Amino acid sequence: MLPLSSFHEFSAAQSLAIAVALGFGFGFCLERAGFGSARKLTAVFYLYDMAVVKVMFSAIVTAMAGIFVLSATGLLDLGELYVEPTHYAAQAIGGVLFGAGFIVGGYCPGTSIAAMATGRKDGLLFALGMLAGVYAYAELTPGIDTWIKDSAQGALTLPELTGVGAGWWTLAFVAFLAFAAWGMGLAERRFGYLRPRAG
Amino acid sequence: MAPVLADSRLSPRSAVRAAPDAFWNPYLTGALLGLVLLATYAITGRGLGATGAFGAVATWLASLASPEHAANNVAHARYWNDGAPLASWTLFLLFGAFIGAFVSGVAAHRVRPGVERGPRVTDGQRLALAFAGGFVAAYGAKIAKGCTSGQALTGGAILNVGSLVFMLAVFASAYALAYFARKEWL
C-alpha cells in the first residue's frame, strides 16, 4: 500500500535522488506555465491574467482527486500522509505577510528558483531576501516557533472538521474550479487592457 | 502572453535569437503539476515544499559561525539534520526544480538575463523591492509553516484546514495591497 515510504526504507542517497527527480518535474511545470516571470505571476492581482489561480487550482484538484481515488481503491493509506498541524492564527498572520511579500517581491519561494534558472536577476534577489528573512527569523524571533508548536490545533482536514467526506469535497472543488474558470475568463477580457504589450 | 522583459539593455544579439514560445495551457500545466504532487505523496508520504530549502541553507550558514548555536536554536534545529543541514530533502528538490526550469526555459527560448518590472520603476528599485518582498515572504512562510508549495498546494490537496486558511489570507492580502504596488507592475 502506498506511500512507498511506508513499507520501503529509502537510503539517504536514494531519498535525495528522488527529491531531484520530483523537483525536476516541479520546476519544469512552473517554467512551462510562465511562473519564472514576476509580471506573469503578479498579473493575477490585476485580473488581466489569472494563470496563477488556474494552475494552482488545477494542480490541487488533480492531486486531490488522485489521492481520493487511490485511497478509495485501497492503494494508498491516507493515515501515512503527513498533515501539517493547523494553527489558525499562525496561518492567517503568516498568510497576510506572505501575500504582502508576494505582491511586492513578485515571486513565491518556488517560483523565484524558476526565475533564477531562466536568468531573472529579480528572482535571485527575491531568493536572497528569503534567505535573509529565514535567517533573521531564526536569530531574532525563535520564540514564535515555540509558541506555534505549543498552541497549534493539531492535524485537521476539512472532512474531519465538517463530517462531510473527502469525495464530496473533491467534487465541490472540481465544480468550483469549473465555475471559477468561467469567471476568470470574464475578468481577463474585462481587464485585458492592463496587459503589457510584448516586446 | 510572451514574457515581457522591460530591460532595455538586452544585447543586440537578442534580436536574432528565436522568439520565446508561448506558455503552456494553464489548466493542463496545473494538472501535470498536480500529478507531480500526487507522485510526491505516493512515494514519500509528504508533499512538495520550498521554504525548507532556505531554512537548510540558513542553518548551514549559522553553523559556519557556531555549530553549537545552529544545533540549539529552536528554529535552526529543525534543519540541523545531525550536522548535515545541506543534505536536506527540500534543498535537493529545489536543486531539481532549478534544473527542470532551466531545461524548460532553454527548450522554449526563454532563458535570457533581465529584470522583470513595469515601465515606471527602475531596475535598481525593482531589485530592492524583490529583496524586501523575499524577506517579508520568508517571515510569513516561517510563521505559517509553509508557502505556496508546502501549504497551498500540498495542504490544499489533502484538504488541510490550516492550508486553506493560509491560501485565503495570501490572496486577500495581496489583492488588498495590489493597488499600492501598481507602479511596480503596470
Instruction: Give B90→chain A minimum CA distance, Å.
Output: 7
| pLDDT band, residue B15 (cuts 50/70/90) | low
A139 located within any domain: yes
| pLDDT band, residue A12 (cuts 50/70/90) | very high
CA–CA separation, B173 vs B166, rounded Å? 10
Kindly determine whether residue A66 and residue B34, on different chains, have CB atoms separated by under 8 Å: yes
A8 located within any domain: no
Kindly determine whether residue A157 and residue B159, on different chains, have CB atoms separated by under 8 Å: yes
A9 located within any domain: no
A126 located within any domain: yes
pLDDT in tens, A15-68: 999 999 999 999 999 999 999 999 999 999 999 999 999 999 999 999 999 999
Residue range B63-76: mean pLDDT, rounded: 94
A154 forms bridges with which residues in the sheet?
A86
A10 located within any domain: no
Regarding an ipTM greater than 0.95, the answer is yes
pLDDT in tens, B91-147: 999 999 999 999 999 999 999 999 999 999 999 999 999 999 999 999 999 999 999
Q: What percent of chain A has pLDDT over 90?
A: 97
Kindly determine whether residue A76 and residue B153, on different chains, have CB atoms separated by under 8 Å: no
**Distance separating the N- and C-terminal Cα atoms of chain A:** 52
pLDDT higher than 90, residue B3:
no
A48 located within any domain: yes
Segment holding A188, helix H or strand E: helix A166-190
pLDDT higher than 50, residue A199:
no
Select the residue of A67, A144, A159 nearest B157 (Cβ to Cβ). Answer: A67
From residue A95, give the alpha-carbon distance in Å to each of A84, B15, B47, B75, B137.
15, 41, 19, 19, 9
Residue range A140-167: mean pLDDT, rounded: 95
pLDDT at B17: 72
CA–CA separation, A16 vs B95, rounded Å? 10
Non-local (6+) Cβ contacts of A152 within 8 A are: A85, A86, A87, A90
Note whether B134 and A94 are within 8 A (CB): no
**Which domain does A36 fall in, by range?**
27-78+85-194
CA–CA separation, A40 vs A59, rounded Å? 18
DSSP A157: B
A187 located within any domain: yes
Residue B145's closest CA among B87, B90, B65? B90
Instruction: Give A168→chain B minimum CA distance, Å.
Output: 12
Residue A7's closest CA among B35, B37, B36, B44? B44
Cell of A97: 505577510
Residue range B66-85: mean pLDDT, rounded: 94
| pLDDT band, residue B4 (cuts 50/70/90) | low
A162 located within any domain: yes
pLDDT in tens, A91-112: 999 999 999 999 999 999 999 9
pLDDT at B8: 46
Cell of A190: 474585462
pLDDT in tens, A126-143: 999 999 999 999 999 999
Kindly determine whether residue B126 and residue A122, on different chains, have CB atoms separated by under 8 Å: yes
Total domains present in chain A: 1
Which amino acid, B185? W
